[in-house]
Amino acid sequence: MSYDLMVFEPSAAPRERQEFMAWYRRQAAWSEGHSYDDPAVATSSLQAWFHDMRQHFPAMNGPYRSDADDPHVTDYCIGKSVVYVTFAWSLAEEAYEQMRSLAIKHGVGFFDVSADDGEVFYERGPIGEKN
């Protein structure tokens, strides 16, 4: 089992939790018709986030893959409006902090996929707060 987090393009995602979860499930169907390991398919803000994130958690696959034998090497699944990231549980706290702080830096949303009723954070605050 893995520890999973996701960042997303805020303009593409609904702001109400129920609609957001339905949108998330559609994104996680991985039906966009392209490879999901190349950040070039994503929005410019998600690409910038990815390039910062891979400095801390190198990519397992794709054009920026790392061959290092390191538990920080991470699986990224990259869509047009989302980047879903799978970490080792031993890195959960570090991954959460790094991923969330870079989401804020780059103005993208953040979703704690692995948590029960996981946090959904937009560029201006968690879902449910006035943005």
Say if residue 130's pLDDT is above 80: no
**For residue 122, what pLDDT is reported?**
84
- pLDDT class of 13 with cuts at 50, 70, 90: very high
**For residue 124, what pLDDT is reported?**
61
Closest C-alpha among 57, 37, 52 to residue 107: 52
Q: What is the DSSP string of the chain?
A: --EEEEEE-GGGS-SSHHHHHHHHHHHTT--SSS-SS-GGGS-HHHHHHHHHHTTTS-BSSSTTB-----TT-BEEEE-SSEEEEEE-GGGHHHHHHHHHHHHHHHT-EEE-TTSTT--EEETTEETTS--
Q: Work out the angle at residue 105's Cα, subtended by the Cα atoms of residues 69 and 2, and round it to the nearest 5 degrees.
A: 40
**For residue 92, what pLDDT is reported?**
96
Closest C-alpha among 85, 87, 84 to residue 70: 87
Domain definitions of the chain by residue range: 12-126
21-75: per-residue pLDDT in tens? 999 999 999 999 999 999 999 999 999 999 999 999 999 999 999 999 999 999 9
